[in-house]
């Protein structure tokens, strides 16, 4: 009986100790996502010296419920060559982190693909290469041909098969995919 009482006292005491101690109120620190790509900006600079065309997709809450915001600064001009460049940012950090540099450092494991939709009379060609001589796709040349309209999709694959014949046999995981509806005037 004595043991009984002692043990039941002991268990209540320990329960009490547990519930009173270690209730420190230091708040945890926030985690800022380091790898998220929130923003892709594609700058198309016409070879004839006209104004740049800027395509942008921006998703400031990453995987959160907000959808990406797509903006297109203007139409392309017919029979014009554009030199294109892609910049990737993580704007959840302040100042924004430039992810393009990471892609350049790991060029062997990354590649952009350009998909020109039906209707758009344009072509895109790579204008850069990794250390194995395969394209990365951060720089490219876009030829806008006749007056037309349609979509152009930019896809960044992580760990694709390199070299490849195109996105069909590239494999890998999609880090970015953005489609822009664009017109050639």
Partner 1 sequence: MRHYALLVLLFSSITTLSQNCDNTLTGKVTDIHDGQLLIGVTLTIANTEQSVQTGLDGIFTFSNLCNDTYYIQVSHPYCLTKGFKVRVYKNTNKSFKLEHHIEELNQITIEGKAYSNKSKTVLESSINKEELERFSTGTLGNALNSLSGVSSLNTGNGVVKPIINGLHSSRIVIINNGVRMEDQRWGVEHAPNIDINSAGNLTLIKGAAALQYSGDATGGIIIVEAPKMAVKDTVFGKTSISGISNGRGISINSRITKSNLNGWYTSIQGSLKRTGDTEAPNYLLSNTGVFEQNASIKFGFNRFDYGIETYYSVFKNQLGILRASHLNGAQDQVRGISSPIPLIINDFSYNIDAPRQGVTHHLGRVLGYKELGRRGKLSFQYDYQKNNRLEYDIRRGDDRNKASTDLELITHTVQSNFESNRSNTLQIKTGIIGRYQKNYPNPGTGIRRIIPDYTKYDLGAYAMFDTNINESLIMEIGGRFDYTHMNVYKFYRKSFWESRNYDTLLPEIVVEEVGTQILTQPKLNFYNSSATLGATYSFKDNYKLFFNYSLASRAPNPSELFSEGLHHSSARVELGDLRFNSEVGHKFAITLQNNNENFSFSIQPYINTINDFIVIEPVDVQETIRGNFQVWEYRQTNAQLIGVDVDASYPINEKLKLNHQFSLVKGYDRSRDEPLINMPPANFKNEIVYKNSEYNNLRISLQSAYVFRQNEFPNNNFEVYIPQTETNEIVDFSTPPNAYHLLNFNSSIDFKTSNKTALTVGLEISNLLNTSYRNYLSRLRLYADDLGRNFLLTFKLNY
Number of residues binding to partner 1, judged by CB under 8 A: 62
Q: Does 68 bind partner 1 (CB under 8 A)?
A: yes
Q: How far apart are CA 35 and CA 85, in angstroms?
A: 21
The residue within the footprint of partner 1, chosen from 75, 121, 139, 159 (CB under 8 A), is 159
Query: What does the DSSP assignment read for 46-94?
Result: ETTS---EEEEEE-TTTTSSSPPEEEE--PBPTTEEEEEEEEEEETTSS
The residue within the footprint of partner 1, chosen from 56, 80, 111, 155 (CB under 8 A), is 155
| Cβ–Cβ < 8 Å for 160, 122 | no
Q: How far apart are CA 68 and CA 44, in angstroms?
A: 21
Q: Does 148 bind partner 1 (CB under 8 A)?
A: no
Residues that bind partner 1 (CB under 8 A): 1, 3-5, 7-8, 10-12, 14-15, 18-19, 22-23, 27-35, 37-38, 40, 57, 59-68, 92, 94, 102, 105-106, 113, 115, 117-118, 151, 153, 155, 158-159, 167-168, 171, 173-179
């Amino acid at each position: 009986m004595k043991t009984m009482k002692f043990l039941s006292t002991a268990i209540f005491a320990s329960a009490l100790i547990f519930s009173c101690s270690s209730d420190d109120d230091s708040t945890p620190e926030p985690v800022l996502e380091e790898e998220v790509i929130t923003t892709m900006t594609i700058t198309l600079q016409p070879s004839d010296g006209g104004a740049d065309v800027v395509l942008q997709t921006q998703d400031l809450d990453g995987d959160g419920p907000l959808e990406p915001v797509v903006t297109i600064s203007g139409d392309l001009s017919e029979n014009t060559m554009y030199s294109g460049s892609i910049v990737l940012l993580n704007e959840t950090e302040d100042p924004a982190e430039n992810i393009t540099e990471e892609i350049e450092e790991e060029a062997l494991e990354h590649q952009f693909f350009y998909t020109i939709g039906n209707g758009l009379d344009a072509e895109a060609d790579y204008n850069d290469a990794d250390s194995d001589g395969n394209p990365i796709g951060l720089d490219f040349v876009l030829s806008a041909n006749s007056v037309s309209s349609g979509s152009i999709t930019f896809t960044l694959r992580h760990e694709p098969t390199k070299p490849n014949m195109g996105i069909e046999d590239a494999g890998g995981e999609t880090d970015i995919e953005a489609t822009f509806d664009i017109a050639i005037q």
